[in-house]
Amino acid sequence: MRNIYDLTLKELEDYFISIGEKSFRGTQVFESLYKKRLNSFDEMTNISKEMRKKLKENFSLHKIKLLITQKGDKVNKYLFELEDGNKIESVLMFHNYGISICVSSQVGCNMGCTFCESGRLKKIRNLLAYEIVEQILLIEEETKKKITHVVVMGIGEPFDNYENVLRFVKIINCNKGIDLGSRHITISTCGIIPGIKKFMEEEGQVNLAVSLHAPNDELRRKIMPIAKVYQLDDLMNTIKEYIKKTNRRVTFEYIMLDGINDNEKEAKELVKLLKGINCYVNLIPYNETENIGFKRSKEWKILAFYDILKSNKINATIRKEFGGSVDAACGQLRANN
């Protein structure tokens, strides 16, 4: 039985048409789920008992289960259990501009980035759209606060689960439901070129972030196995094509690893690589874990790297750190109890 949170508004409208009803009944149900946050079909009293009966026969309202909440300074981490017993994590961050959530898109991850704790658990399966949507619903229910920004940057590679992630985006972007603006949604990829090519054909203004982490192929292959499949020249040409077609700026994520990719040499190579591209670089101080041997760049090296980028007119920021105290920072999600 399909979970009703897996349906877009159009699919709900089409369902009601298929049973001989008006399409607006689908809108009523969609609004009941996302505007009114009703948790049972019986509560949907704006449709007939017969319609409610058919919904019960055809759809599930089951939600994933929130197991554990860890609270830190301006950050919460959540452990969820899925219907099959697998577990995922999400992170909620409180900013001065709003409240953002980092959602997972897979159980495990096959990308194998050597610095990433999340990748130590190999991919078990893709999340269905409803399992991503419900991360938002359950966290809003727990906090009683409205999430304003979403990043698909938790466990998993979003473009390795393209159809479900785009379905999720359509559901949360719909103005009859959660109504999150396209520009408040960001999808992060480690550089899956076919996914980027498909994404540039999508409507809307959803943001794209690319995990770069190295300015040349030799270094990138050492820390990101995906670079053995998609070379940097091909990736950058695809990014340029994406920007030309969409007129949208791309974010490049760059984790600062001590003695690996944080030297003046790499900074200058990065300047050369990104010169003239409509982008900005998000420098991320590495979050160390007990299972991986990489170390965080020293603060002065991060600042020196930043200065080289800025002095060469490359837009850059140093990511404000969230979540280290509860192992919820970038690269630390693993879905452990």
**Quick one: residue 268, left, alpha or beta (phi over 0 = left, psi -120 to 50 = alpha)?**
alpha
Q: Active-site residue 330, yes or no?
A: yes
Closest by alpha carbon to 213, among 249, 253, 270, 250? 253
Q: Return the structure tokens found at 27.
A: 């809108």
Please pick, among 109, 113, 279, 330, the residue that the annotation labels catalytic.
Answer: 330
DSSP 172-227: HH-TTTT---GGGEEEEES--HHHHHHHTTSSS--EEEEE---SSHHHHHHH-GGG
Please pick, among 13, 89, 117, 131, the residue that the annotation labels catalytic.
Answer: 89
Tell me, what amino acid is at 164?
Answer: N
What is the chain's Cα-based Rg? 21
φ, ψ (nearest 5 deg) of residue 144: 60, 30
Q: Return the structure tokens found at 89.
A: 């994590």
φ, ψ (nearest 5 deg) of residue 223: -110, -15
DSSP 87-152: EEEEEEEEETTEEEEEE--EES-SS--TT-SGGGS---EEPPHHHHHHHHHHHHHHHT----EEEE
Q: Using an 8 Å Cβ cutoff, are 81 and 64 in contact? A: yes
CA distance 15 to 22: 10
CA distance 48 to 203: 35
Give the residue numbers marked as catalytic: 89, 330
